[in-house]
Structure 1
């Protein structure tokens, strides 16, 4: 279900899925790229923090929404507006639960990606270190 929603959003973004002006720094000199692919863990960690905050905030919002509706049915039995209100409440609870669940699943993946990038960088640096020539010595 979520993959279809993402595809719909990309389709709405237009040709190239909204990526028409994007390129990797390593893709060549177009746009003045340096030829080096640069990345950092910061965006991944920041996204994980945002997912965590959104998860927390949706839980808070759901609690407040449910609390605000407590007792609303008292004295309104049979009113069509109460049935509509109950339906809207259920719909919002479902949406907030879905966002809460998705963010809860996404946060650890984003944190793992940030960590894994650092590990790969350290591994590559270590592997390449054996080929560096110490000052004054040739290979």
Structure 2
């Protein structure tokens, strides 16, 4: 007797491509949302920077130029932090999805055909 995962045959635990496909379960979905938020935060940071190009030269000598630069720097830092946190979450949530077994739905459907005999006296 041997374990199926030790057989080395098709379907054995040691084989495969290492790329498990996932269903759209809650952890996978959350990972996608974090990835999308990461992209939007980076896009917003970039647009914010472009919107301030030339302001320093045009507002030279005005006290508000320094305040505006301070606000810009602060928001750029916040958006970088959001971007970086979302990047980390994207990978972490996908890892949880793998560990929690949000595997390809065909695996689930393939198990539906398995017949389990009823215990004596158990009604099915």
Equivalent pairs, count = 88
Q: Identify the structure with bigger relative contact order (alpha carbons < 8 Å, sequence gap 6+).
A: 2
Q: Distance in 2 between matches of 1:54 and 1:72?
A: 28
Give the TM-score of the pair, scaled to structure 1.
0.56
Q: Give deviations 1:18-61, integer Å, cap 9, x for gaps.
A: xxxxxxxxxxxxxxxxxxxxxx9711111111100000000100
Contact 1:58-1:99 within 8 A present in 2 as well? yes
**Relative to total residues, which structure has the larger helix share, 1 or 2?**
1
Residue of structure 2 aligned with 1:42, choices 11, 20, 25: 25
Aligned alpha-carbon RMSD (Å): 2.8
Partner of 1:85: 68
Over alpha carbons, which structure has the higher Rg? 2
Q: Show structure 1 runs of 5+ residues with no match.
A: 1-39, 120-131
Q: Partner of 1:18 in structure 2? A: none
Whether 1:63 aligns to 2:46 is: yes
TM-score (norm 2): 0.62
* Aligned counterparts of 1:42 and 1:133: Cα–Cα separation in 2: 27
How far 1:102 sits from its partner (Å)?
0.4
Moved over 6 A (4+): none
Runs of 5+ in structure 2 lacking a partner? 1-22, 103-114
- 1:101 alignment partner, one of 68, 80, 84: 84
